[in-house]
Amino acid sequence: MRIVLPGGSGQVGRLLQRSLVDGGHDVVVLGRGAPGNVPGARHVPWDGRTPGPWVAELDGADAVLNLAGRSVSCRYTDQHLRQMMDSRVDSTRAVGRAVAAAARPPAVWLQMSTATIYADRSDEPGNPANDEATGVIGGEERHVPLYWEYSVRIARRWEGAQAELDLPGTRRVALRAAMVMTPDQGGIFDVLSVLARAGAGGAVAGGQQYVSWIHGDDVVRAVDLLLARDDLDGPVNLAAPGPVPQAELMRDLRHAWGTRVGLPATRGMAGLGAWAMRTDPELLLKSRRVVPGRLLEAGFEFAHPAWPGAARDLVRRTTQRPEGTNPVATLRAMARGTGG
């Protein structure tokens, strides 16, 4: 297959590049900066907004997988939130227009979205899970900071941009992705590992808020399934079937690293720590209990369904990477945005 990856140079993009190239596919990455692709993938410039020579790459392609969007690993200032919104909506609309104009449009358009679209349900008895059929879309919670609503608004407009045009020849799937855990430097697993190994990875604000996650291996396998199954369209949750409370997630991660001490943090301390790491405490505090209803219904079998085993596997791979596990290098990579 010829597969076009707009915005495919981030953590998830590089993960998919490696898998698709290894699978013998013709991979074209649309990117703004200098090529950072894996060997075998071709780079074509684009600005994520306006038509250009890149449009020809979608004509005759078998699939497009749009991953473009400013990293969420940043402080949620007004400027950064606007950049998150614009980069996602503008790039999605640009892809949609290119698909609509193609003489031979791609058969499938997989569009990155986010599990953040669902409501924080930590104030409800039993903290119910969100699947695609019964999950509650966020934006109207009264018990969370007001600016969290903007993250949901971004997600809704992101998905709305994919649905705007009439594209009868192209199946569309919105990938509502949870935190993607890979051993790559600067990714979310790497950053959490720095905290765990330093003894700072304890419960945050009580630690009962749920964290939804998915192992990178299962992202690759789920994308393969969604490329092949022409009966699946609409929103699909990319999340492992075993979301866990934040305190449990960090406890299992500390155990995987052989660390027993995990100092807890209050909500205020989490805010200060997030500010120091140039990110936002929403990523730690929002209860994201998301489950993969449609993947399970489709018969998908997760290679890493439970967090303890996934954490051990990721720790093993992290320790084997050529650049090592230097925490200073990890934080520098995070600040550069190379993990997203």
Q: 328-338 pLDDT, tens per residue?
A: 677 666 655 54
What is the maximal distance between C-alpha atoms in the chain?
A: 60
Structure tokens belonging to residue 44: 């074509």
Which pLDDT tens digit goes with each residue over 155-194?
A: 999 999 999 999 999 999 999 999 999 999 888 999 899 9
Q: Domains of the chain: which residue ranges?
A: 2-336
* pLDDT for res 224: 98
Rounded Cα distance between 260 and 152, Å, is 36
Sites in the chain below the pLDDT cut of 70: 34-37, 276-277, 328, 331-340
Q: May I ask the CATH class of domain 2-336?
A: alpha beta
Measure Cα distances from 154 to 77, 87, 142, 159 in Å: 14, 10, 19, 9
Which pLDDT tens digit goes with each residue over 208-243?
A: 999 999 999 999 999 999 999 999 999 999 999 999
Rounded Cα distance between 67 and 175, Å, is 10
Residue 297 DSSP SS3: helix
pTM metric for this prediction: 0.93
